[in-house]
Structure 1
């Protein structure tokens, strides 16, 4: 059986969704299911019916995984021998696809929107130039693409003047790189994002934040409805595309 290398990340994205239909699934005599949209990175795509059975254990009942006071997963005894694999999968999924990395991405989008508004107002010519930005090994935001030296300096000064944007970019990079390592686990291989060789030295050559924002943003209606600048589904697809285009699958399983 051939496995689509991008299937895992995309399913992670779709599984972290709450549709409008899910908000009131209980009968009228009962209290409807209440979801706080401010606590999730929400996408408007409906969950595919085929995924409804994914969370069920081998005895047909949902298995809820919790943590002990010492921070270790509280696993059923029959899963103990697979602790290493499960911990890698759960922690890397959280960091890469569900929580830390996408949350940092949304912060980047929010702060970039503020910076770019001022930047384009004062320098409208930059709108028609092909450029991007990323974070280098020193934690500085750097401009990429087709900019002359004067414009490159102008853009970088504007980007780095926003401390929240710089902080979000650093957080993204840290969570992303940690997630890749964890996903590979002791075997050192992965079928998903972890198969790509992204590290401190080459991150700036692979991940373009401006492309991520432009390709992964919600439209105005969804942004107003959901409260998030980035669409989780589109964001996941774009990061997958960037990895496929620029990174080597050195750690492919």
Structure 2
């Protein structure tokens, strides 16, 4: 199945998405068991649409387009699974393939120059454990064992970079929206959606510095891929932070 993004929401469904749908439908809505903290995601940047097609039952490629109302124009045989297909496709795109990782990549593009500025102003921070996140008002905040001067230097430097702030705000918005979509009407998930992450506790769970430090591509990798962020390393770090600091309040019961 190929979902055409040209008519409606920007979305491509790759083989991972199709496999999730196929598993649920063919096994009477019992989703295939995988590591719940490690959702499917290609380690390479998003692939061209032609490479992200999945074959339908009869072996022919089939295109599914969005209608003007924003709903998928599904063949009749898929209609009974509409809620599932739309939920899997939209949450996979938003959380694991496009919106959230792309916001993280935009953060990574700004991070190196900002961290250099911070270390020039406060060289001792190179040997201190610190981090940063985003608060309920959308401002970047420093975390860790810091004195007031160090905290001020970090926060002033971070928030002076409009592109970094906007990318962090987008990351948070996409992530929270994505996990809500993933839970669906049942209110449960096997993947990132099982964790209780919201506007109030986001800063307590996500350390953006840790995420970026663990996920930045080398100069050679950036030249080869065009991405500042390694998607596979990013996915693993997000999973680790969720597992360590978030409560799985919405976990699907077997």
**Shorter-chain TM-score tier:** 0.7 to 0.9
Q: Is the 8 A contact 2:133 2:208 kept in 1?
A: yes
Q: Is the 8 A contact 1:112 1:165 kept in 2?
A: yes
Q: Aligned pair 1:3/2:34, yes or no?
A: yes
Q: Aligned pair 1:179/2:178, yes or no?
A: yes
Q: Is the 8 A contact 2:44 2:231 kept in 1?
A: no
Q: CA deviation at 1:17?
A: 5.1
Q: Aligned partners of 1:105, 1:193: CA distance in 2, in Å? A: 16
Q: Which moved more, 1:123-132 or 1:175-184?
A: 123-132
Q: Is the 8 A contact 1:13 1:236 kept in 2?
A: no
Q: Aligned partners of 1:219, 1:15: CA distance in 2, in Å? A: 14
2:89 is aligned to 90
Aligned partner of residue 134 in structure 1, secondary structure: strand
Root-mean-square deviation over aligned CA pairs: 2.2
1:66 is aligned to 65
Q: CA deviation at 1:111?
A: 1.5
2:247 is aligned to 248
Aligned partner of residue 197 in structure 1, secondary structure: coil
Q: Aligned partners of 2:125, 2:102: CA distance in 1, in Å? A: 28
Q: Is the 8 A contact 2:195 2:251 kept in 1?
A: yes
Q: CA deviation at 1:199?
A: 0.4
CA shift in 2, pair 1:130/1:15, >3 Å: closer
1:13 is aligned to 42
Deviations 1:24-71, CA, capped at 9 Å, x for gaps: xxxxxxxxxxx6xxx9xxxxxxx9xxxx9x933333333433212322
Q: Which moved more, 1:190-199 or 1:122-131?
A: 122-131
Tell me how many residue pairs correspond in the alignment: 220
Q: Is the 8 A contact 1:108 1:168 kept in 2?
A: yes
1:166 is aligned to 165
Q: Aligned pair 1:101/2:100, yes or no?
A: yes
Deviations 1:125-182, CA, capped at 9 Å, x for gaps: 1111111100010111000112122211111111111111111111110000000000
- Consecutive unaligned residues in structure 2, runs of 5 or more: 1-31
Q: Aligned partners of 1:192, 1:15: CA distance in 2, in Å? A: 20
Q: CA deviation at 1:119?
A: 1.6
- Consecutive unaligned residues in structure 1, runs of 5 or more: 19-34, 40-46
Q: Aligned partners of 1:92, 1:100: CA distance in 2, in Å? A: 10
With the length of structure 1 as denominator, give the TM-score of the two structures. 0.81
2:20 is aligned to none
Q: Aligned partners of 1:155, 1:111: CA distance in 2, in Å? A: 14
